[in-house]
A and B are shown apart, each in its own frame.
Chain A
């Protein structure tokens, strides 16, 4: 019996350290800058963000066929080569970054907008409503994430919007659980008690005092969630459930290149793959770095 209570004080310490780092963002930022791996991650994210912004300035359009010959290997004119329709692969990879980043933002946005209120309400109110909401979240967690995303996207009908919604829905329970457990421990803290004592309404306590204190773990989860969302959306596109050809999307491009890598035209597949891998790596590194800075007790790499 005594062992079950061991984790309780630990989460209290965790919450305390969160508000400390959270209340001084400049300190957090300085610590993050000192984290070399997080900076490498930030560089990767920056590369694809800038790439997405300048994609329009390239001499070739991502969907214009015949920008060069068919299946030309990388050269000075086409740094990443051309694909089976003579489209410039560099232009397509950069334009694909725009789609992937948007997909990530929208999907994570959906997970946040639905997951955070669910977690906050069930954690703060508890009771039957809270229990039911969290059981629903548990059910969503009982599915392997890619399988659930597939089922949702297939039900909605293939397309980029379906993929965004599917990935967003799959991410909801993670956010709900984080906010739920944070809220549960914050609810017992003195400043909440104080708020009650001076007669604040539940809603004010929740939105002004509790939710702001859950920002740090949410930020970490959202950053890691971006990488996960980009990966899952690209996987859906690869199996034909996400963005559709001729859209310049990384998963679609790799799917297009599938038939050609066997015959040796590797550049159609390799470049979009590097783009996916480095952008996911970027978000993972920054997410881990943020966690180390904001929440030292959850450190993954000591």
Chain B
């Protein structure tokens, strides 16, 4: 318990650093937000007025304090291009991103870990070579390109994929909102038409988003399993006649688990970056797509809020990984 409290407390300075970093990024870097907002032709008086309204004429420390106060009050700024507070825009778009990220991480776990285990147990056999080539290529493929090729092959040529426009077909009603996750909601409400359409829409972007992390998880699982398999206790387990599958799953994988959990956590943290790209290519109406639209509209507040959200998620996932690993491996707790 002590360990949990300590880890949670340790997150506070990290979050503070993140907030400070994001704040400095907008205030210190070149480019004048008041000037941008006023437009190129605005006269100096108007720019000054907007600057005062935005509080930009205050000293930096005062600005930072009011920024942090705002965050605590749920004020993440105003999105000029949608005419709404950023928070409201996020709330309506977050479920789409969460759903995509969950499906993607499930895919990369369910594919990556078994691929890694199998290729470690069949080292230097064809399966191992195939999975290593997949890992190399998967980790080198630009996501935005992969997504376009998937659309070209599976939508354009084979017709397996529905039009890459959103979470559900235009002529299908979205399921009654309970969690905001279409697949889950249509399951809960027993809406089979919506279930079929939302699954068909999510699987392609999720596969694309999962490719890179699947490759990395497979690769790290393989190398950690190879490390563990050569340990004495695995040899002992084998020599006392345990079935090979049991040795691999119960003895080896269990000890490789902390490393695998860490890698999965890191990949999950990075997923939000990939979501920006995937959502853009598939016109998936999540926060990533929204951020790119904000960037194109030179609207910085949503970008700032998204960066904060991404870092907060990353830190939280890392915390969960640490706590989970302390459960998996009691030795870590004392470290």
A interface, CB within 8 angstroms of B: 1, 3-4, 135-136, 138-140, 142-148, 150-152, 154-158, 227, 231, 234-235, 238-241, 251, 254-255, 257-258, 261-262, 264, 266, 269-270, 272-273, 276-278, 280-281, 284-285, 300-302
Contacts and interface: CB of A to CB of B under 8 A. Distances in A.
Contacts of B292: 239-240
Given A143-B314, A302-B226, A273 B140 contact: no
A270 B150 CA distance: 11
Interface of B: 13-14, 17-18, 20-22, 25-26, 29-31, 132, 136-137, 139-145, 148-149, 151-152, 155-156, 219, 223, 226, 269-274, 276-277, 280-281, 291-292, 295-296, 300, 303-304, 306-307, 310-311, 314-315, 331, 334-335
A257 to B, nearest CB: 8
A278 B155 CA distance: 25
B14 A139 contact: yes
A136 B219 CA distance: 30
Given A147-B276, A276-B142, A284-B139, A1 B156 contact: no
Contacts of B151: 261-262
A3 B140 contact: no
Contacts of A285: 136
A126 B272 CA distance: 34
A270 B146 CA distance: 10
Contacts of A158: 295
B270 A144 contact: yes
A284 B137 CA distance: 10
Chain B CB within 10 Å — which of A1, A144, A150, A254 has the most?
A144
A212 B168 CA distance: 57
Contacts of A4: 334-335
Contact of B219 (A140, A143, A300): A300
A273 B145 contact: yes
A300 B149 contact: no
A143 B144 contact: no
B310 A144 contact: yes
Contacts of A276: 142, 145
A254 B144 contact: yes
B295 A240 contact: yes
Contacts of B148: 254, 257-258, 261, 269, 273
A266 B156 CA distance: 10
A235 B142 contact: yes
Given A264-B156, A277-B145, A147 B273 contact: yes
Given A144-B272, A261-B148, 18 more contacts: A146-B273, A146-B276, A147-B306, A147-B307, A235-B143, A238-B280, A240-B295, A254-B145, A254-B148, A257-B148, A261-B151, A261-B152, A262-B155, A269-B148, A269-B152, A284-B139, A301-B223, A302-B226
A161 B179 CA distance: 42
Contacts of A139: 14, 17-18, 20-21
B295 A154 contact: yes
16 contacts: A138-B14, A139-B17, A142-B314, A143-B311, A144-B269, A144-B270, A144-B273, A147-B307, A156-B31, A238-B277, A240-B296, A241-B295, A258-B148, A262-B152, A262-B156, A301-B132
A269 B145 contact: yes
B295 A142 contact: no
A78 B4 CA distance: 63
Given A235-B143, A239-B277, A269-B149, A284 B14 contact: no
Nearest to B309: A147
Given A156-B30, A254-B148, A300-B219, A234 B14 contact: no
Nearest to B157: A264
Nearest to A230: B142
Given A145-B270, A266-B152, A1 B334 contact: yes
Nearest to B335: A4
Contacts of A144: 269-273, 310-311, 314
Nearest to A265: B152
A4 B18 CA distance: 29
Nearest to A136: B17
Contacts of A258: 148, 281
Nearest to B144: A238
Nearest to B303: A154
A143 B314 CA distance: 7
Contacts of A143: 18, 307, 310-311, 314
Given A142-B18, A145-B273, A284 B140 contact: yes
Contacts of B331: 3
A197 to B, nearest CB: 34
Given A143-B18, A235-B277, A302 B223 contact: yes
A151 B22 contact: yes
Contacts of B31: 155-157
A146 B274 contact: yes
B205 to A, nearest CB: 15
A172 to B, nearest CB: 12
Contacts of B269: 144
A68 B241 CA distance: 71
A226 to B, nearest CB: 12
Contacts of B274: 146
A234 B142 contact: yes
Contacts of B30: 156-157
B304 A151 contact: yes
Contacts of B315: 142
A136 B269 CA distance: 19
A150 B223 contact: no
B227 to A, nearest CB: 8
Contact of B136 (A240, A255, A273, A281): A281
